[in-house]
Amino acid sequence: NKKQSRQANSETISIFIPYVWVLGPLGKMKINYLCVFQDFDLASIYVSDAQYNRNIYFDTSPEAVRLYLRYNHWLAKVLLYFFILVDLSLALFEEPAVLPLPIWATMLVELLCLLVFTIRLAHYAKVIPRDKFWKDPKNICIIVILLLTLVDMIIYGALKATNCYGVRWSRVLRPLLLVNVTEGRQLRRAFRSIRNALPQIFYVFLLFMFSLLMFSLMALKLLGKRGLKTIDGAPYFTNYLEIVFDLYVLVTTANSPDVMMPAYNSSFVFAIFFILYILINTYIFMSVFLAVVYNNYKKYLKEEVRQLVRAKRHKMARAFAVLQEHREEGGQPVVSQANWNQMVRLVQPDISNAHRELLWSVADDKNQGKVAFVQLVDLLNIEVITLKSRPHPLQSACPALYLSAPSRLLCRLVQHRAFVIVYDLIILVNAVFIGLDEENPMVSNSEWVFLALYLLEILLKLYVFEPKAFFSRHSFWNWFDTIIVVSALIATIINSAMKSSNRQILDIVFILRVLRLIRVVDSIKRFRAIINTLIRIGPAILTFGQLIIVVYYIFAMVGMELFKGKVKFFEEDSTDPDKAFCGNTDLKGTAFAQLNYCKNNFNNVVSSFILLVELTVVNQWHDILYLNASRTPDRGFVAVTHVSARIFFILFHIMVVIIIINIFVAFVLEAFFVEYSVDKSDLQTSLERKIEELELAVEHVGIVVFPGYRTVDALLQRMFEADLDPEDFAENDDPDGNFANPTFSSA
Amino acid sequence: NKKQSRQANSETISIFIPYVWVLGPLGKMKINYLCVFQDFDLASIYVSDAQYNRNIYFDTSPEAVRLYLRYNHWLAKVLLYFFILVDLSLALFEEPAVLPLPIWATMLVELLCLLVFTIRLAHYAKVIPRDKFWKDPKNICIIVILLLTLVDMIIYGALKATNCYGVRWSRVLRPLLLVNVTEGRQLRRAFRSIRNALPQIFYVFLLFMFSLLMFSLMALKLLGKRGLKTIDGAPYFTNYLEIVFDLYVLVTTANSPDVMMPAYNSSFVFAIFFILYILINTYIFMSVFLAVVYNNYKKYLKEEVRQLVRAKRHKMARAFAVLQEHREEGGQPVVSQANWNQMVRLVQPDISNAHRELLWSVADDKNQGKVAFVQLVDLLNIEVITLKSRPHPLQSACPALYLSAPSRLLCRLVQHRAFVIVYDLIILVNAVFIGLDEENPMVSNSEWVFLALYLLEILLKLYVFEPKAFFSRHSFWNWFDTIIVVSALIATIINSAMKSSNRQILDIVFILRVLRLIRVVDSIKRFRAIINTLIRIGPAILTFGQLIIVVYYIFAMVGMELFKGKVKFFEEDSTDPDKAFCGNTDLKGTAFAQLNYCKNNFNNVVSSFILLVELTVVNQWHDILYLNASRTPDRGFVAVTHVSARIFFILFHIMVVIIIINIFVAFVLEAFFVEYSVDKSDLQTSLERKIEELELAVEHVGIVVFPGYRTVDALLQRMFEADLDPEDFAENDDPDGNFANPTFSSA
C-alpha cells in the first residue's frame, strides 16, 4: 500500500506499527506489539472520543480497548448504516409493494439485518461493563425492537402460511433503530429537545384549541341559521365538529378563502370574523408556537452542549493524565513534544507535519499544561488545509517553455478578473441558448461550442494552477465544474452517438447543462457568503432529514395499513371507466377526482412518502383528504374508512408542521445568527495569528485555515461558546455521569 | 369640575394652578402666573418628552414653551388622528364607492382635512426654530403631500366639470400622512428598520430568484417536451415565463400539489424535482428570509433604542440642570424633595401621593444626584397601582350586618378556590347549552338561568370586595365580565321584548354569550401567563397594524384604479345570466367563477382590503388572480387587463408576505423571548424591594407594581437593556443631534 510505505519511510518504525494497527483493526495482529503503545492507544481513544463526542464507557482492559477500536472503525459503522438502510427499504418490496417480492425473500433479508444488529449489540456489550450495558435505555430499546420484530415475523409467517390476514405491525419500529444505535447521537439530541419542549408547546396548543373552539361556536351561532349554502349546495356551517375541522384547516391557510366565501357573499361583515380568526390563530398563535419551540430548543440545546463540552474536556484531561510527565520535581505536569506528536499521529493519521507543528506551537504558546492540551481537540476540529506551494509540473518538466513570455502572459490573463467576467458572460449566453428550442439545429450545435469553451477554461486553469492545489479537498467549485463539464461531455457524446435519442440520457444532459449555470453564483461575493453559510449548516440539516424520515416512515407504515388500495391510480392511457373516480365509487364527482389526485394514495411506500410531503406543505390537504366539510361532507379517506381517520392526519400535522418544521426553522435562524454575529471563534483566530507569525519559519508550506467545522457538535458548541468557561474540566464529576470511565478513575 | 376641585382641596394652591394650566392649554390664561413656574414647566416638558420619547427641538422662549405644551395636548392629537381617519375613510365615498357621495361633498371634507393638517404644521413651525423646521424631511413630506393633493383635487375637479376621465392619483399619498406626523414615531421606526434591512434582503432575494430561474429552466427542459397536459387539457410547462410564475406561486405553497400532479402522474421521479424545489425554496429560503429580516431588525432596532435611551437621558439631564440646587458649597448638585414633588405633579397630574413618595424614596435611596434623577423617567414608565385598602362601603354603612357570622361566611365562600371552580363548571355547562339548538324552548330559557347566575356572581363579588378596588384600572377581567354580562342582559331583554326576533340583535346576543366563555382562561395559571404576554405586546402590534394599513391602502388605491368594475358581484337571489361568470365573459368556465369568488374584487375600498387580506394569507391567490398558467393561460385580472398586472400582485407579495409578515414574526419572537428570559427589569425589582421596606411606613396604602410598560418604547428598551450603560448621559453630544435643545445649551 503506497500511502503506508510513504509513511513508513518518512517516520520511525515505532509510528508505523500503531498506524497499521489503527487502519486494520478488523485483521489479526500480535498483541505483544500493542503493549508498547498501550498508553498512546488509550490516550488517542480519549482524544478521538472527545473529538467526535462519543460518550461511551469502555473498559480499559487491553482486550476491551482493542474491541472498542474495532467498534469505532468506519467500516463497521458504514456496514451498520447500510443494513439499517436495507431494513428500512424492505418496505419497497413488502406488501403493499412497489416491486413485490415473495414473503420468504424479504423475511430472509430482514433476518439477516436482525442478525447484523444483534452482532453489533453483542460487540457493544463486550466493550462496556456489563452493568452499564443494562442500565442504558438505548440498548434495552434495541433488544425490545429486535425481539418484537422477531415475534411479529413468526406470527406473520404463520398467518400467511395458513392464508390468514396478517399485519406486519413491527415495521413501525424499524426507524427507531436509527435513533437508538450508538451513532444516532445527533438524532437522539433532536428528539430530546422536542421532548423537552413538549410541555410548553402543549399549553400553548391547549390555548390555541380553546380559541379554535370558541371561534367555531361563534361561527355556528352566527352563520349556522342563515341557510347559507356552499358552492356544492351543501348547508354551510351547521355542524359544530365540521366547523371545528374547517377552522383548523383555515389555520394552515389551506382552505382560504373558500371557507369564507359563502359568508362573505352574504355580507362583508362576516369577513371581519374570518380576518380576526386568521390574525389570531394563523399569525399570532403560529408565531407563538415558533417562539416557544425556538426558546425551548435554544435553552435545552445550550444545556446539552454545556454537558457535552464538559464531558469532552473531562476526556481530554484523562488523556493528559495518561501522557503527562513531570519535567522537574514538584513542577506542573506537561506533555513532551514527542508524546504529543505520537498521539496526534494516532488520532489523525493523515495530518501533515506542518499542521501538526502548527498545533503544537499554538498549544505551546500558552503553556504545555492541561489547559493547552485540552484545547487540542478544538484545534483538531478546525479545518486546516495544507497547501504545498510546489512549482507547476510543467515548469519542472519544461521550464524554458513554461516560463517563456507568451506562457507567462497566458497565466496573467487567466488569473485576471476579466477572465472570470468573460466566462460569466458566456454562462449567461449559454442560459439563453438552453432556454431556446433545442430542436433548432443552430441551438443544438451551439452546445458543442459551449462545451468546448468550458473544457478550455478547465484546461487553461490546469495550465496555470498546480493540479493538486486546483483539485484540493476544499476547492468545491473546481470539483463541481470539472465533474459537471466532463459528465456533460460524455452524456452529450453518447446522446449524439445513438441514432434515436434516448429520453433518459437527454434528461441527464439537460440537468447537467442547467447545473453548469449555477457556477455563476460563485463569482459574486455577496452570494458566496450566503451559499457558504447554507453549505456549512448542510450537515446539521441532515439530522433533521433523519428526524423527518423516522416520523414519515412511522406514519407511512400506519397509513399504508389503514388506507392501502382505497384509491387507485390509472395510467394516462387507461380506458378503464373507474379512472374518473380513482377506482372508488365514493369519489364520484369529488374535487379529489376532478383535480386528478388519484396518485396521492397510500398504495406503496413511495406514494405514501410523497403524499406525506404534500401534507407537510399543507396546501390542499382538505382536498387530498377530501375532508372539506363545507362541500358535501365525509368523502375520500374519511368516506372510505371512518371519520376518525381525520385523527391520523391532524396528528401528522401537529407532529410535523407545528413541531418539527418549527424546530427546523429555529435551527436555521440560530445558525444564521451565529454566522452573522461571530465570524471566527477565538481559537481559530489564534491559529491564524500563529500562522502569520510562523510564515517565515515554516518554509514552502502554505496553510489556510478553513472557517468551517468538521462536526455538527463543533457548530453547536460555537453557538453557545460565550457561556462556557475554558477552565471548567468537570474533574470532580460524579463517576456515574455517562461520560467518565469508572475503571480508569480507580487505576 | 369635580376632579380639579378635589385636587385643589387636598393640595396647596401652588400646585393647583399649573395643574389647571396643563389641563387647559387650549384655553386662555394669564401669562404672569406662568412666570412663577417657568422652570418647572421647562423641566416637566423635558421629563415628559423623555417619558414619551418625543425628540422635538422646541424653542425655550416662554411663548414657544406654551405653544409646545398646547401642541402636545391630548385633544390636539386626538383631533389630528380623527382628521387623518376621516381623510383615509373618504375612499369609502369616492368613486368607486361603497356609499357614493357627490364629488363636491368629499372634496369639501378633504379640503377641511387639508386645512387641519396645515394648521397643525403651522403650529409645529412656530414651536421649533425656523431652520430646524426646513431641515426636517417629515415636514417637507407633509408639505409636498398637501400641495400635491391640492393640485390633484383642482385637476380632478376641472376634469370632472368638463366630463373628462380623471384619476385621483393623490389618494395613494394619504396614508403617508400617518407616517410623517410627529406622533408617527413608532411607524417611522418600523419603516426605517425595513429600509435598513432591504439591502440584505435584496441579496437573498436575488439568490432566491436565481434558484427559481434555474429550477424553471430545468423544468422546461425536463417536462416541456413530454406532451403532458394539465387537468384542463392545456399544455403543461411549455412556456418559460409561465413556469417561472407557477414555481413562484409554489414557493407560497398555494398551488401545491396541483402544479406537480401532471408530472407526478407521468412518473414518480418528477416528484423528487418538486420536493427538492420545495425544500430549497420554500423551507430553506423562506427561513433565510426570516433570519435576515430578524437579524437586521434586531440589529438596527438595538441601535435606534440605544440612541433613544441616550436622548432620553440627555433630556433628563437638562431637566435636572433646571431644577438642581447646590446644598453646600462645591458639593454635588441635588434636587430638593419640594422641587421633585412639584415637577412630578406637573408631569403626571393623576399620580397618587403614595406613589410619588415611593418614587422619591427609590431615587433618594441611591443619591439625590443626577443618576437617580435620570432614572425617574424609567420609574414613571413602570405601572404602579395604588390601592387604598379602605373598608367596604357596606361595612361603614351597616357594620353590624356586614360583620355578622352569616355575612362573613358568605365572604369566605366567595373568596374560596371552590367558588372559582364552580363558576368554571357553570361556564362549561353554558358552553354546551350554547352549542345546542336555541330554538328548543328549554335551551332558550336556560339562557336566563345562566344570565342570573353570572349576575349573581358579580353581585356577590361586589358584596365581598371593595367596589373601587374591584373596578380598578387594571382589573381587566372584572371589567370584561361586568361589561359582557350587563350587555348580554340588555340585549337579551331587548330581543325577547321584540315580537319578531331581530337578526342583528340576536347576533350580538350570540357573540356576547360566546365571549363570556373566554373568562375560563383566566382561571388557569399557565394560560394566564401566555395571555398576559400577548396582551402586553398588543400595543406594539398596533404599530404593525398601522404599517399594514399604510401598505394596504396604497395597494388598494392602485388596485382600484387598475381593476375596478372588471369583475362584478351579483346578489345570491339575482337571476342575471351574467352571474355565472361574474359579469365578465373572460371568466366563463374559470375556477374563479366556479368557486364563487366574484366578490373578491377591487370594486370598492372594503372589497379591496378583504381581497388584499386574502392575498396576504396567500392560499389560492393564483385562482383569485386566475393566473394559474398550468390551466388555460391568462384569464381574470390578467385577461381583463394585461399580463403585466401580475407585477402588481407579485410586488404585493414581496412587500407584505416576505418583508412585513416576517418583521411581524420577528417582533413576536423577540417579545416572547424577552418575556421568557427577563421577568422583571432591575428598576422594577428595586421598586418592589422598596415597597416591602416601606410596608409599615406607608400606612393603609397598598401599592402593587404591575409588571407592564406604559409605552412601546419602554418595552423595546427592556429588550436591549443589558447593553446600555446607566451612566451614559450623552451630555457631550453634538448639539446638532436631533434631540438636544440648542437654545438651552447656550443659556
| pLDDT greater at residue A738 or residue A702 | A702
Distances (CA, A) of B173 to A41, B136, B654: 76, 18, 21
Please judge whether B203 and A661 are an interchain contact, meaning their C-beta atoms are less than 8 angstroms apart.
no
Mean per-residue pLDDT for A481-489? 90
| pLDDT greater at residue A46 or residue A627 | A46
Please judge whether A672 and B292 are an interchain contact, meaning their C-beta atoms are less than 8 angstroms apart.
yes
Nearest CA in chain B to A275: B613
Peptide bond connecting B102 to the previous residue in cis, omega within 30 degrees of 0: no
Nearest CA in chain B to A525: B203
Mutate to test the interface with B, among A202, A207, A236, A513 (most CBs of B within 10 A): A207
Mean per-residue pLDDT for B541-554? 89
Percent of chain B residues topping a pLDDT of 90? 16
Q: Are B296 and B285 in contact (CB under 8 A)?
A: no
Please judge whether A220 and B664 are an interchain contact, meaning their C-beta atoms are less than 8 angstroms apart.
no
> How many other C-beta atoms are found inside a 10 Å radius of the C-beta of residue B446?
17
| pLDDT greater at residue A320 or residue A17 | A320
Please judge whether A287 and B256 are an interchain contact, meaning their C-beta atoms are less than 8 angstroms apart.
no
pLDDT digits (tens, 9 = 90+) for B351-374: 777 777 777 776 665 555 677 777
Do the strands B382-388 and A333-334 form a parallel or antiparallel pair, or are they unpaired? Answer: unpaired
The helix/strand/coil state of A333 is strand
Task: Find, among B264, B222, B272, B269, the residue nearest to B243 by Cα.
Answer: B222
From B190's Cα to the closest Cα of chain A, the distance in A is: 18
pLDDT digits (tens, 9 = 90+) for B369-408: 677 777 777 777 666 655 555 678 888 888 888 888 888 8
- For residue B745, pLDDT beyond 60: no
Of A168-172, A381-385, A440-444, highest mean pLDDT? A168-172
From A281's Cα to the closest Cα of chain B, the distance in A is: 12
Positive or negative torsion for Cα A378, A379, A381, A383: positive
Q: How much is the pLDDT for B34?
A: 38
Closest CB from B290, B594, B597 relative to A669: B290
> What is the crossing angle of helices B661-677 and A286-323, to 10°?
60
* The residue to which cell 497566458 is assigned: A410
Q: How much is the pLDDT for A9?
A: 38
Please judge whether B288 and A530 are an interchain contact, meaning their C-beta atoms are less than 8 angstroms apart.
yes
| Stated length of chain A | 747
Mean per-residue pLDDT for B280-291? 89
A269-A270-A273-A279 Cα dihedral, nearest 10 degrees: -80
**Chain B residues with CB inside 8 Å of A265's CB?**
569, 572, 596, 598-599
Task: Find, among A216, A211, A186, A175, the residue nearest to A90 by Cα.
Answer: A175
Do the strands A701-709 and B325-326 form a parallel or antiparallel pair, or are they unpaired? Answer: unpaired
Closest CB from B222, B511, B669 relative to A290: B669
Q: In whole numbers, what is the pLDDT of chain B averaged over residues?
A: 78
**Chain B residues with CB inside 8 Å of A613's CB?**
271, 275, 278
Tell me the backbone φ, ψ of residue B187, rounded to 5 degrees.
-65, -45
B145-B151-B153-B155 Cα dihedral, nearest 10 degrees: -150
Please judge whether A264 and B534 are an interchain contact, meaning their C-beta atoms are less than 8 angstroms apart.
no
Q: Are B262 and B230 in contact (CB under 8 A)?
A: yes
What the block records as the C-alpha cell of A456 is: 478550455
- For residue A389, pLDDT beyond 70: no
Task: Find, among A266, A252, A224, A228, the residue nearest to A627 by Cα.
Answer: A252
Task: Find, among A441, A423, A404, A431, the residue nearest to A477 by Cα.
Answer: A423
DSSP labels for B362-411? HHHHH-SSHHHHHHHHHHHHEEEEEEE-PPPHHHHH-HHHHTSHHHHHHH
Nearest CA in chain B to A227: B572
pLDDT digits (tens, 9 = 90+) for A615-674: 888 777 666 665 433 344 444 465 555 666 778 888 888 888 888 888 888 888 887 777
Mean per-residue pLDDT for B668-673? 80
**Element containing residue B709 per DSSP (H, E):** strand B701-709
Strand partners, B705: B384
Please judge whether A261 and B599 are an interchain contact, meaning their C-beta atoms are less than 8 angstroms apart.
yes
Nearest CA in chain B to A215: B514
pLDDT digits (tens, 9 = 90+) for B178-221: 998 888 888 888 888 888 888 888 989 999 999 999 999 999 98
Q: How buried is residue A41: exposed, middle or buried, by Cβ count under 10 Å (0-12/13-18/19+)? A: buried
Mean per-residue pLDDT for B424-444? 84
User: What residue type is assigned to position B7 of the chain?
Assistant: Q
Mean per-residue pLDDT for A348-366? 72
Please judge whether A614 and B256 are an interchain contact, meaning their C-beta atoms are less than 8 angstroms apart.
yes
**Chain A residues with CB inside 8 Å of B511's CB?**
218, 221-222
Mean per-residue pLDDT for B421-446? 85
From B278's Cα to the closest Cα of chain A, the distance in A is: 8
Q: Are A601 and A566 in contact (CB under 8 A)?
A: yes
Please judge whether B291 and A618 are an interchain contact, meaning their C-beta atoms are less than 8 angstroms apart.
no
Closest CB from B221, B275, B288 relative to A514: B221
| pLDDT greater at residue A697 or residue B540 | B540
> What is the crossing angle of helices B525-563 and B605-617, to 10°?
120
What the block records as the C-alpha cell of B686 is: 428595586
Strand partners, A229: A235
Label residue A114 by pLDDT band (50, 70, 90): very high
Q: How much is the pLDDT for B22?
A: 38
- For residue B656, pLDDT beyond 80: yes
* CATH 1.10.287 residue ranges for chain B: 188-302
Task: Find, among A349, A124, A197, A239, the residue nearest to A655 by Cα.
Answer: A197
| Stated length of chain B | 747
Peptide bond connecting B262 to the previous residue in cis, omega within 30 degrees of 0: no
From A316's Cα to the closest Cα of chain B, the distance in A is: 34
Tell me the backbone φ, ψ of residue A459, rounded to 5 degrees.
-65, -40
- For residue A382, pLDDT beyond 80: no
Please judge whether B256 and A607 are an interchain contact, meaning their C-beta atoms are less than 8 angstroms apart.
no
Label residue A694 by pLDDT band (50, 70, 90): low
From B584's Cα to the closest Cα of chain A, the distance in A is: 18
Q: Are B344 and B356 in contact (CB under 8 A)?
A: yes
| pLDDT greater at residue A263 or residue A704 | A263
**Chain A residues with CB inside 8 Å of B531's CB?**
207
Q: Tell me, rounded to whole angstroms, the distance of Cα A84 from its chain centroid.
A: 16
- For residue A23, pLDDT beyond 60: no
Please judge whether B257 and A619 are an interchain contact, meaning their C-beta atoms are less than 8 angstroms apart.
yes
The helix/strand/coil state of B423 is helix
Closest CB from B217, B275, B278 relative to A431: B217
**Chain A residues with CB inside 8 Å of B607's CB?**
268
pLDDT digits (tens, 9 = 90+) for B508-545: 888 888 888 888 888 887 888 788 778 777 777 788 88
Of A79-83, A478-482, B331-335, highest mean pLDDT? A79-83
Closest CB from B203, B265, B607 relative to A599: B265
- Going by C-beta distance under 8 Å and a sequence separation of 6 or more, which residues neighbour residue A107? A153, A157
Closest CB from B287, B514, B676 relative to A295: B676
- For residue A405, pLDDT beyond 70: yes
Label residue A472 by pLDDT band (50, 70, 90): confident
pLDDT digits (tens, 9 = 90+) for A567-618: 888 877 777 888 777 777 777 777 777 777 888 888 889 989 998 988 888 7
Q: How much is the pLDDT for B273?
A: 92
What the block records as the C-alpha cell of B358 is: 415611593
Mean per-residue pLDDT for B314-322? 83
Nearest CA in chain A to B283: A665
Mean per-residue pLDDT for B629-643? 50
Q: How much is the pLDDT for B215?
A: 93
| pLDDT greater at residue A693 or residue A270 | A270
Please judge whether A257 and B231 are an interchain contact, meaning their C-beta atoms are less than 8 angstroms apart.
no
A/B interface, count of CB pairs below 8 Å: 211
Closest CB from B221, B295, B664 relative to A510: B221
Mean per-residue pLDDT for B65-89? 90
pLDDT digits (tens, 9 = 90+) for A271-309: 999 999 999 998 889 888 998 888 888 888 778 878 888
| The domain over range A396-523 is classified in CATH as 1.10.150.120 | no
- What gap in Å lies between CA A583 and CA A337, rounded to an integer? 76
Q: How much is the pLDDT for B691?
A: 61
**Element containing residue A322 per DSSP (H, E):** helix A286-323
Mutate to test the interface with B, among A256, A427, A677 (most CBs of B within 10 A): A256
Label residue B12 by pLDDT band (50, 70, 90): very low
* CATH 1.20.120.350 residue ranges for chain A: 396-523
Please judge whether A514 and B672 are an interchain contact, meaning their C-beta atoms are less than 8 angstroms apart.
no
**Element containing residue A662 per DSSP (H, E):** helix A661-677
CATH class of A188-301: mainly alpha
**Chain B residues with CB inside 8 Å of A282's CB?**
617
Q: How much is the pLDDT for B533?
A: 77
**Chain A residues with CB inside 8 Å of B255's CB?**
619
Please judge whether B434 and A610 are an interchain contact, meaning their C-beta atoms are less than 8 angstroms apart.
no
Which fold, B188-302?
Answer: Helix Hairpins (1.10.287)
Q: Are A722 and A41 in contact (CB under 8 A)?
A: no
pLDDT digits (tens, 9 = 90+) for B456-489: 999 998 888 888 778 876 677 888 889 999 998 9
Distances (CA, A) of B185 to A489, B39, B57, B308: 61, 28, 15, 11
Q: Tell me, rounded to whole angstroms, the distance of Cα A74 from its chain centroid.
A: 18
Of A1-10, A703-712, A725-734, B412-421, highest mean pLDDT? B412-421
SS (H, E, C) B26-62: CCCCCHHHHHHCHHHHHHHHHHHHHHCCCCCCCCCCH
Lowest mean pLDDT among A415-429, B242-256, B387-401: B387-401
From B532's Cα to the closest Cα of chain A, the distance in A is: 13
Closest CB from A283, A295, A569 relative to B672: A295
Please judge whether A207 and B521 are an interchain contact, meaning their C-beta atoms are less than 8 angstroms apart.
yes
Q: Which one-letter DSSP state was computed for residue A499? A: S
Q: Half-sphere exposure (CA, 13 Å, Cβ side) for A187?
A: 19
Q: Tell me, rounded to whole angstroms, the distance of Cα A459 from its chain centroid.
A: 35
Q: Are B349 and B23 in contact (CB under 8 A)?
A: yes
Q: How much is the pLDDT for B26?
A: 39
Task: Find, among A93, A120, A114, the residue nearest to A104 by Cα.
Answer: A93
> How many other C-beta atoms are found inside a 10 Å radius of the C-beta of residue A578?
14
